[in-house]
Amino acid sequence: MDSSFLPAGADNGSAGGANNGGGAAQQAPPIREQDRLMPIANVIRIMRRVLPAHAKISDDAKETIQECVSEYISFITGEANERCQREQRKTITAEDVLWAMSRLGFDDYVEPLSVYLHRYREFEGEARGVGLAPAPPRGDHHHHHHSVPPSMLNKSRGPGSGAVMLPHHHHHDMHASMYGGAVPPPPHHGFLMPHPQGGHYLPYPYEPTSYGGEHALASGYYGGAAYAPGNNGGSGDGSGGSASHAPPGGSGGGFDHPHTFAYK
């Protein structure tokens, strides 16, 4: 309970906003530990990506990094929120987040994130153009990507793009329903890109060394997930994440690896 106020206080202080330490203590509802931090499995996977193979990570270091990530999100969000207040807007947009990062010293992040956001919007436009049927949102759970029937999953695995688009679209709808439809539709709603895009359509290698690792890892894990749908039915986010990622699906990874290297 006490630890949940530390990031809020630090965030408000560093962001230069109103000092509401006492107010925060009274207004903030009790927050579950699970909801306060990012899933540790995801954090560890990112750490492993940049560490040598022989490196070990102690449990207390993992927990500290978890805390730092939540603090980072609160820190940037506080600055973005302050900008929204000055301009009397009620919605924090992606541009506000990028602006806050630049203002708080994370200039090096803005360019790769702008590229990432641009590609996300292109994908959103195409996903809407394809006309995927959105799954009904469920309020009591936040991750239902595996609720897709196996037949649908198998059918969508044929075209690689279809397999990836389906859970993403579902996620977007879920967010809209969670926040009373306040999420505005992407500006590229009508933008539809043809499936056979140019062969030289390559993302910017802003992290050339880690990019290959990310790609290989993504292919391997996605193969595993595709072969074991519905494995994370009732478990929590943390343990669910661990369960779904523990079996990397050797055959899937082996199948995907040639494509990965061919792509590079």
Partner 1 sequence: MRQARPYSGIFCGGVSARTGPHALPLARIKKIMKRSAGEAAAAADGGARMISGEAPVVFSKACELFVAELTRRAWAATLDGKRRTVHREDVATAVHNTDLFDFLVDVVTADTAGGTGGGGHDGNGAL
CA 65, chain centre distance (Å) = 17
| Residues 122, 166: Cα–Cα separation, whole Å | 15
Measured torsion, CA atoms of residues 5, 9, 11, 13, in degrees rounded to the nearest 10: 180
CB of 132 to partner 1, least distance (A): 13
CB of 75 to partner 1, least distance (A): 5
DSSP type of residue 179: T
Cα dist from 145 to 150, 190, 234, 257, whole Å? 11, 25, 13, 24
CB of 82 to partner 1, least distance (A): 7
Token pair recorded at residue 120: 């996300």
Nearer of residues 131 and 258 to partner 1, judged by Cβ = 258
Q: How many CB atoms lie within 10 A of CB 166?
A: 23
Measured torsion, CA atoms of residues 243, 244, 250, 255, in degrees rounded to the nearest 10: 180
CB of 178 to partner 1, least distance (A): 8
CB of 27 to partner 1, least distance (A): 6
48 within 8 A of 54, measured Cβ to Cβ: no
Reduce the secondary structure of 170-212 to three states and give it as a string.
Answer: HHHHHHHHHCCCCCCCCCCCCCCCCCCCCCCCCCCCCCHHHHH
CB of 191 to partner 1, least distance (A): 14
Nearer of residues 63 and 149 to partner 1, judged by Cβ = 63
| 17 CB burial (10 A radius; 0-12, 13-18, 19+) | middle
Nearer of residues 159 and 190 to partner 1, judged by Cβ = 159
Nearer of residues 60 and 131 to partner 1, judged by Cβ = 60
Helix (H, G, I), strand (E, B) or coil at 186: coil
Token pair recorded at residue 202: 């390559």
CB of 133 to partner 1, least distance (A): 17
